[in-house]
Amino acid sequence: MPGAVEIKSQKVADELKNALPSKLEVKRVSKTFEAKRGEKFLALDDVSLNVGEGEFVCLVGPSGCGKSTLLNLIAGLDKADSGEILTNGKPVSEPGRDRMMMFQEHALFPWLDVIGNVMFGLKLKPNLNDSERREVAKYYLHLVGLDRFLNSAIHELSGGMRQRVALARSLAPNPQILLMDEPFGALDALTRENLYGDLQRIWQQRKKTIVFVTHNIREAVCLGDRVILFSPNPGKIREEFKVELPRPRSINDPALSEVSSVITAALKCHLDAKGVME
Ligand SMILES: Nc1ncnc2c1ncn2[C@@H]1O[C@H](COP(=O)(O)OP(=O)(O)OP(=O)(O)O)[C@@H](O)[C@H]1O
Ligand SMILES: [Mg+2]
Confidence of residue 3 (pLDDT cuts 50, 70, 90): low
Task: Please indicate, yes or no, if residue 137 is contained in any of the structural domains.
Answer: yes
Query: Are the C-beta atoms of 212 and 58 separated by less than 8 Å?
Result: yes
Can you give the residue range of the structural domain that contains 71?
10-274
Give the mean pLDDT of 250-274.
92
Residue 96 resides in a domain = yes
User: pLDDT value at position 276?
Assistant: 57
* Pairing of the two strands 177-181 and 209-214: parallel
Let me know if residue 129 belongs to a domain.
yes
Residue 1 in any domain: the answer is no
Q: In what order do the strands lie in the sheet with 177-181?
A: 99-102, 177-181, 209-214, 56-60, 226-231, 236-242
234 lines ligand 1 (CB under 6 A): no
The number of domains in the chain is 1
81, part of any domain? yes
| Residue range 120-166, pLDDT digits in tens | 989 878 889 999 999 999 999 999 999 999 999 999 999 999 999 99
Task: Tell me what pLDDT residue 97 has.
Answer: 87
User: Does 2 reside within a domain?
Assistant: no
Q: Does residue 16 lie within any of the structural domains?
A: yes
Using most ligand atoms within 8 A of CB, pick from 63, 216, 230 the residue to mutate for ligand 1: 63
Provide the mean pLDDT of the chain.
92
Segment 187-192 mean pLDDT = 94
Query: Residue 38 sits in a domain of what CATH number?
Result: 3.40.50.300
Residue 25 lies in a domain: yes
Cβ–ligand 1 contact at 64 (below 6 Å): yes
Any ligand 1 atom below 6 A from CB of 68: yes
CA angle 127, 133, 139 (to 5 degrees): 125
- Whole-model pTM: value is 0.95
